[in-house]
Amino acid sequence: MKLDSPLRAGEVALVGAGPGASGLLTLAAAALIGDCDAIVYDALVSDEVMAMADASAEKILAGKRGGRASASQHDICETLIRLARAGKRIVRLKGGDPFVFGRGGEEVRALASEGIAFRIIPGITSGIAAPAMAGIPVTDRSVNATLAFLTGHEASEKSRMDWKALVEAFPVLVFYMGAKNLPDIAKRLLDAGLEKQTPLAIIRNATLADEQTMVATLGEAADGSITARSPSIVIIGDVVAERMNWKDSI
């Protein structure tokens, strides 16, 4: 099977929609979005991408933005199973890449346990795309040989993470879902030994018309003198200083 071959009746494609700009969809994603019976999409999927959808396809917003209870995840799986059993050709469309902080694993496990055919189409994840839009190389030979992707939810009081070990192993940190907890993230990193002057960038709505980039320091993020709004990628580390601004941004 080729990734972009037409879906069969009762098949689900778990598709990465990329960070927002329709030009960053994969060819397989564009082909499947444009030829299916139903699209079950997350709130993070851009209007621009949805505009490429098959006009006759049923569009179902699965929306779980803000991390609602797992009951809604259950509902999404039930919806996919119901549509598949009805013989529909289904695209399950998720922002970025479906397996990067996207709960795609849970959905394919649910499908597999019901014997439903599925395929997986990776997408460009926002943790890669957002720094690129801001002109920040996520790896730079002079700065880092490792790179960590994290969820900002880890900065909550229940954090199980060893922050000292984290900053020792990873000179560059890319946080998803980090906007709300930004001051807590910054404080934990300072406590773990990072300098107040460590540069960070916040990139909001990356690849979309209203994309915004803000560059600041870890100290400023910790004391609340800068804030971030969702959806933003926060990248922390000396690669931010290697930034080549190739777009007009604020």
Residues binding ligand SAH (CB under 6 A): 19-20, 44, 94-97, 100-102, 125-126, 130, 176-177, 203-207, 230-233
Closest CA to 195 of 241, 126, 135: 241
Min CB(209)–ligand SAH separation in Å: 11
Whether 187 is catalytic is: no
Min CB(86)–ligand SAH separation in Å: 27
Residue 216 or 233: which CB sits closer to ligand SAH?
233
139 φψ region: left (φ > 0), alpha (ψ -120 to 50), beta (else)? beta
Min CB(224)–ligand SAH separation in Å: 19
Residue 102 or 237: which CB sits closer to ligand SAH?
102
Q: Looking at 42, 88, 94, 180, which residue is catalytic?
A: 42
CA distance 192 to 84: 48
Residue 95 or 199: which CB sits closer to ligand SAH?
95
Q: Looking at 4, 37, 64, 238, which residue is catalytic?
A: 64
Min CB(32)–ligand SAH separation in Å: 17
| Shortest-Cβ-distance residue relative to ligand SAH | 96
Whether 180 is catalytic is: no
Where in the sequence numbering do the catalytic residues fall?
42, 64
